[in-house]
């Protein structure tokens, strides 16, 4: 049984075409264009013979019934939202490869022993509300009532945004899954890095996924006239924040039991005038590693350094814990399952960890997870130049199909 490479390729580019005019490829979560793309997706799911619904967290779910509907389903998932100026494959490739698997089964009138569900999780990318993996968090129980009150720069809450996307924030608790509810979670993704290309591999079998700790840092100084306030009498919040960001770089560059990266972004400066000493700065930072211990060590060291900098510069610093996504190690048996399925497609497979977070982080709390990488041009992602070859996408989708057939084949 073979997937239809041309059909999959056409679907990817059709969905990617839902973007803000003149700003490719931008389809931010909770935006009108995001909703339009998902409406298209639901129509495609129905055309593939799937039962389609949207849950309270605005996750889009297409279900292909199995011979035994009561059995926990196999789930193939990813996301269709993008970062600003993102690419055509990040997230989309995983959702539509899963859809092509389901359509292939439907075309061949082949019914698995258990159900197969294709899921487009809501807002996998960091949203305007400071939170990522929103939809899969709802399933794993990591989307709290407090998180629903997070606001964007216009004061809209995350709960209101979920409602705009078609969800029901007051019923989020109904999304919670139990471990016995899911048999296996699979996700295909572009690598978002250069390793597969460098090693001339066609497929990556993911061994583990980084954990991510995110904080909001608030630095309060004292706004004052930029011309009349001497340098030694300033309480400059932006200068202090800049020093803190450099401190994060220094701390994250140290040696730990596993590699660590630290990044600061989304900087808001108040009152943001050229002739005013900055009085307040807020910025977000994240720390990533496959080691939970290393994440904690960097977090603790950075917070201490930030407090020392604040004291030296006569400003005040506070931090808010935005979210934590746990690092995961993918079970060896699942890796072997994917390797077996992939070896029917190519002999150029490579095992590697993921430096990016995914919905699989949340799903690992509910079920065994498996993840496949396909190469992307020059290892680039989260940019308009992001690209994957049709044949690589087809190999990844075929590997997904082979895996689903192996674990979901009817009992004799």
- Rg over alpha carbons for the chain, rounded to the nearest Å, is 23
CATH number attached to the domain at 5-210+327-408: 3.40.630.10
In terms of Cα–Cα distance, which of 91, 140, 147 is closest to 120?
91
Q: What is the pLDDT of residue 165?
A: 98
Mean pLDDT of the 16-37 span: 96
Cα 196 to Cα 353: distance, rounded to the nearest angstrom: 11
Are 148 and 102 within 8 A, CB to CB?
A: no
Q: What is the DSSP letter of 409?
A: P
Which helix (H) or strand (E) segment holds residue 22: the answer is: none
pLDDT at 286 exceeding the cut of 90: yes
Query: 3-class SS at 374?
Result: strand
Are 97 and 400 within 8 A, CB to CB?
A: yes
Handedness of CA 95, 96, 101, 104 (dihedral sign): positive
Are 143 and 159 within 8 A, CB to CB?
A: no
In 136-210, where do the E strands start and end?
Answer: 184-190, 203-209
The pLDDT confidence band at residue 409, using thresholds 50, 70 and 90, is confident
First to last CA, the chain: 19
Place of tokens 């969905």: 15
Cα 48 to Cα 101: distance, rounded to the nearest angstrom: 10
Per residue in 203-221, pLDDT tens? 999 999 999 999 999 999 9
Token pair for residue 262? 């630290």
pLDDT at 228 exceeding the cut of 90: yes
The pLDDT confidence band at residue 317, using thresholds 50, 70 and 90, is very high
Strands 260-270 and 224-225: unpaired
CA distances from 225 to 59, 240, 242, 267, 272 (A): 49, 17, 20, 22, 12
Q: What are phi and psi of 392, to 5 degrees?
A: -70, -40
Helices vs strands, H then E, count in the chain: 11, 15
The pLDDT confidence band at residue 410, using thresholds 50, 70 and 90, is confident
53 Cβ partners below 8 Å, 6+ apart? 61, 63
In terms of Cα–Cα distance, which of 217, 221, 240, 220 is closest to 229?
221
Cα 279 to Cα 219: distance, rounded to the nearest angstrom: 8
Token pair for residue 390? 């049709």
Cα 374 to Cα 389: distance, rounded to the nearest angstrom: 9
pLDDT at 85 exceeding the cut of 70: yes
Q: What is the pLDDT of residue 412?
A: 60
Handedness of CA 48, 50, 52, 58 (dihedral sign): negative
CA atoms within 13 A on the CB side of 19: 21
Q: What residue spans in the chain does CATH classification 3.30.70.360 cover?
A: 211-325
Question: Please, where are the H alpha helices in 209-356?
Answer: 237-252, 292-312, 332-343
In terms of Cα–Cα distance, which of 324, 126, 136 is closest to 214?
324
Q: What is the pLDDT of residue 345?
A: 98
In terms of Cα–Cα distance, which of 54, 55, 138, 37 is closest to 92?
37
User: Of all residues in the chain, what percent carry a pLDDT higher than 90?
Assistant: 97
CATH number attached to the domain at 211-325: 3.30.70.360
Q: What residue spans in the chain does CATH classification 3.40.630.10 cover?
A: 5-210+327-408
Per residue in 128-148, pLDDT tens? 998 999 999 999 999 999 999
81 Cβ partners below 8 Å, 6+ apart? 27, 28, 29, 34, 91, 122, 123, 124, 125, 127
Strands 369-374 and 184-190: parallel
Q: What is the DSSP letter of 221?
A: -
Cα 58 to Cα 35: distance, rounded to the nearest angstrom: 10
Cα 172 to Cα 35: distance, rounded to the nearest angstrom: 19
Per residue in 40-73, pLDDT tens? 999 999 999 999 999 999 999 999 999 999 999 9
In terms of Cα–Cα distance, which of 136, 147, 199 is closest to 169?
147
């Amino acid at each position: 049984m073979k997937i239809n490479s041309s059909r999959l390729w056409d679907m990817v580019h059709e969905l990617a075409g839902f973007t803000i005019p003149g700003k490719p490829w931008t389809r931010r979560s909770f935006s009108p264009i995001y909703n339009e793309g998902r409406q298209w997706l639901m129509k495609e799911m129905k055309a593939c013979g799937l039962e389609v619904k949207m849950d309270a967290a605005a996750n889009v779910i297409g279900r292909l019934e199995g011979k035994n509907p009561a059995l926990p389903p196999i789930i193939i998932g990813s996301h269709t939202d993008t970062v600003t100026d993102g690419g055509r494959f990040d997230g989309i490739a995983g959702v539509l490869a899963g859809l092509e698997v389901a359509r292939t089964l439907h075309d061949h009138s082949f019914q698995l022993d258990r159900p197969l569900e294709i899921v487009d999780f809501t807002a996998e990318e960091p949203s305007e509300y400071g939170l990522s993996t929103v939809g899969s968090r709802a399933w794993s129980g990591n989307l709290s009532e407090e998180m629903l009150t997070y606001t964007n720069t216009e004061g809209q809450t995350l709960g209101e945004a979920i409602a705009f996307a078609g969800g029901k924030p007051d019923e989020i608790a109904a999304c919670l899954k139990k471990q016995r509810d899911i048999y296996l979670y699979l996700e295909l993704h572009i690598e978002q890095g250069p390793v597969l290309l460098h090693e001339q591999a066609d497929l990556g079998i993911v061994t583990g996924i980084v954990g991510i700790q995110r904080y909001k840092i608030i630095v309060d100084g004292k706004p004052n006239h930029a011309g009349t306030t001497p340098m030694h009498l300033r309480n400059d919040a932006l200068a202090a924040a800049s020093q803190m960001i450099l401190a994060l770089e220094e701390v994250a560059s140290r040696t730990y039991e596993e590699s660590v990266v630290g990044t600061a972004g989304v900087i808001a400066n108040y009152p943001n005038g050229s002739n005013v000493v900055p009085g307040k700065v807020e910025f977000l930072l994240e720390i990533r590693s496959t080691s939970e211990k290393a994440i904690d060590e960097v977090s603790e060291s950075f917070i201490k350094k930030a407090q020392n900098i604040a004291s030296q510069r006569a400003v005040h610093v506070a931090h808010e814990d935005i979210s934590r996504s746990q690092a995961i190690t993918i079970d060896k048996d699942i890796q072997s399952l994917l390797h077996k399925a992939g070896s029917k497609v190519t002999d150029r497979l490579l095992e590697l960890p993921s430096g990016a977070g995914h919905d699989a982080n949340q799903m690992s709390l509910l079920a065994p997870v498996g993840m496949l990488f396909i190469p992307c041009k020059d290892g680039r992602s989260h940019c308009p130049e992001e690209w994957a070859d049709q044949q690589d996408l087809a190999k990844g989708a075929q590997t997904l199909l082979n895996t689903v057939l192996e674990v979901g084949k009817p009992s004799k």
